[in-house]
Structure 1
Amino acid sequence: MTVQASFFDGGRRLQMTESIELTVHSLQAYGPDHDHWGIAWSGGKDSTTVLTLVIYLLQTGRIKPPKTLTVFYADTRQELPPLAIAAQLIIDELRERGIQVDVVCAPLDKRFMVYILGRGVPPPNNNTLRWCTRQIKIDPMEEALRQRLDTLQGNILMITGVRQGESAIRDQRIEMSCGKDGAECGQGWYQKVLPNARGLRGRIATLAPVLHWRVCHVWEWLKHWAPTIEFGDWSTAAIADAYGGDEAEEINARTGCVGCPLASEEKALETVLLSPRWAYLAPLRGIKPLWRELREPQLRLKKAGLERLKDGSIAKNPQRMGPITLEARLSALERVLSIQAECNEAADALGRPRISLINLEEEARIRALIAAETWPDGWEGDEPTGDTVMETVYQNGVVQPLLFSAEEVG
Structure 2
Amino acid sequence: MAMNSYFEHVSYEELREEVKYVYQSDNRPWIIGYSGGKDSTTVVELVYEMLLSLNPEERTKNVYIISSDTLIENPLIKIYLNKMNTMLGEAAARDGLPIKSCMVTPEYNNTFWTNIIGKGLPTPRMNGTFRWCTDRLKIKPSADKIKAIIAEEKKDVVVLLGVRKAESIARKRRIEGRELANRMLNRHETIQDAYVYNPIVELTTEDVWTVLLEHNSGKTPWGSDNSELVALYSDADSGECPFAGMSNSGQTQSCGQSRFGCWCCTVVKDDKSLNGFIKAGHRELIPLAEFRSWLMSIRDVDEYREKKHRDGTVYADKHGNKGYGPFTWEARKLILTKLIETQRTLNYELITLDELRAIDEIWDRELDLSRRVLVDLYYEITGDRLPWDSYKEPLINSDTVTSIQQMCEEYDVPDELVRNLILSVHQNKNYSNPKIMRKDLERLLNQQWLHFDLLREIDNADNQTGA
TM-score in terms of structure 2 length:
0.65
User: What is the match of residue 339 of structure 1?
Assistant: 342
The whole-number CA distance in structure 2 between the counterparts of 1:161 and 1:106 is 22
| Cα displacement (A) at 1:217 | 3.2
Is 1:94 aligned to residue 97 of structure 2?
Answer: no
TM-score in terms of structure 1 length:
0.73
Decide which of 216, 232, 235 is 1:242's aligned counterpart: 232
Q: Are the aligned partners of 2:19 and 2:50 in contact in 1 as well (CA < 8 Å)?
A: no
The whole-number CA distance in structure 1 between the counterparts of 2:416 and 2:24 is 57
Aligned counterparts, 1:150-165, within 5 A? 150-165=151-166
Decide which of 43, 46, 63 is 2:36's aligned counterpart: 43
User: What is the match of residue 56 of structure 1?
Assistant: 49
**3-state DSSP of counterpart to 2:148:** helix
Q: Are the aligned partners of 1:52 and 1:226 in contact in 2 as well (CA < 8 Å)?
A: no
| Cα displacement (A) at 1:87 | 0.7
Unmatched runs of 5 consecutive residues or more in structure 1: 1-7, 169-177, 345-354, 384-389, 400-410
The whole-number CA distance in structure 2 between the counterparts of 1:89 and 1:340 is 22
The whole-number CA distance in structure 2 between the counterparts of 1:166 and 1:332 is 36
The whole-number CA distance in structure 1 between the counterparts of 2:211 and 2:190 is 31
User: What is the match of residue 115 of structure 1?
Assistant: 115
Letter in 2 for 1:77: L
User: What is the match of residue 18 of structure 2?
Assistant: 26
Compare the two structures and name the one with the higher helix fraction.
2
Decide which of 290, 297, 305 is 2:294's aligned counterpart: 290
Q: Are the aligned partners of 1:47 and 1:160 in contact in 2 as well (CA < 8 Å)?
A: yes
| Cα displacement (A) at 1:159 | 0.7
> 1:101-145 deviations in whole A, cap 9, x for unaligned?
232111101011111111111111134321111111111111111
Unmatched runs of 5 consecutive residues or more in structure 2: 94-98, 170-174, 243-253, 369-414, 419-451, 462-467
**3-state DSSP of counterpart to 1:143:** helix
Aligned counterparts, 1:224-235, within 5 A? 225=215, 228=218, 231-235=221-225
Is 1:184 aligned to residue 179 of structure 2?
Answer: yes
Decide which of 342, 359, 366 is 1:373's aligned counterpart: 366
The whole-number CA distance in structure 1 between the counterparts of 2:230 and 2:62 is 29
| Cα displacement (A) at 1:44 | 2.6
Equivalent pairs, count: 349
User: What is the match of residue 326 of structure 1?
Assistant: 329
When residues 297 and 56 of structure 1 are mapped into structure 2, their CA distance, relative to the original with a 3 A threshold, is farther
User: What is the match of residue 139 of structure 2?
Assistant: 138
When residues 223 and 299 of structure 1 are mapped into structure 2, their CA distance, relative to the original with a 3 A threshold, is farther
Structure showing greater Rg: 2
Q: Are the aligned partners of 2:37 and 2:229 in contact in 1 as well (CA < 8 Å)?
A: yes
Is 1:208 aligned to residue 198 of structure 2?
Answer: yes
**3-state DSSP of counterpart to 2:326:** strand
When residues 94 and 395 of structure 1 are mapped into structure 2, their CA distance, relative to the original with a 3 A threshold, is farther
**3-state DSSP of counterpart to 1:101:** strand
> 1:385-405 deviations in whole A, cap 9, x for unaligned?
xxxxx9798698228xxxxxx
The whole-number CA distance in structure 1 between the counterparts of 2:458 and 2:220 is 71
The whole-number CA distance in structure 1 between the counterparts of 2:257 and 2:332 is 36
Q: Are the aligned partners of 2:212 and 2:218 in contact in 1 as well (CA < 8 Å)?
A: no
Aligned counterparts, 1:237-276, within 5 A? 237-245=227-235, 247=241, 249-250=254-255, 252-276=257-281
| Cα displacement (A) at 1:294 | 3.8
The whole-number CA distance in structure 1 between the counterparts of 2:111 and 2:364 is 18
The whole-number CA distance in structure 2 between the counterparts of 1:329 and 1:94 is 39
Decide which of 438, 442, 460 is 1:398's aligned counterpart: 460
Is 1:74 aligned to residue 64 of structure 2?
Answer: no
| Cα displacement (A) at 1:267 | 0.4
User: What is the match of residue 383 of structure 2?
Assistant: none
| Cα displacement (A) at 1:381 | 5.5
| Cα displacement (A) at 1:359 | 1.9
Letter in 2 for 1:157: V
Q: Are the aligned partners of 1:259 and 1:288 in contact in 2 as well (CA < 8 Å)?
A: yes
The whole-number CA distance in structure 2 between the counterparts of 1:320 and 1:297 is 10
Letter in 2 for 1:74: S
- The higher-RCO structure (CA 8 Å, 6+ apart) is 1
Give the stretch that moved more between structures: 225-234 or 240-249: 225-234
Q: Are the aligned partners of 2:157 and 2:194 in contact in 1 as well (CA < 8 Å)?
A: yes
Letter in 1 for 2:25: D
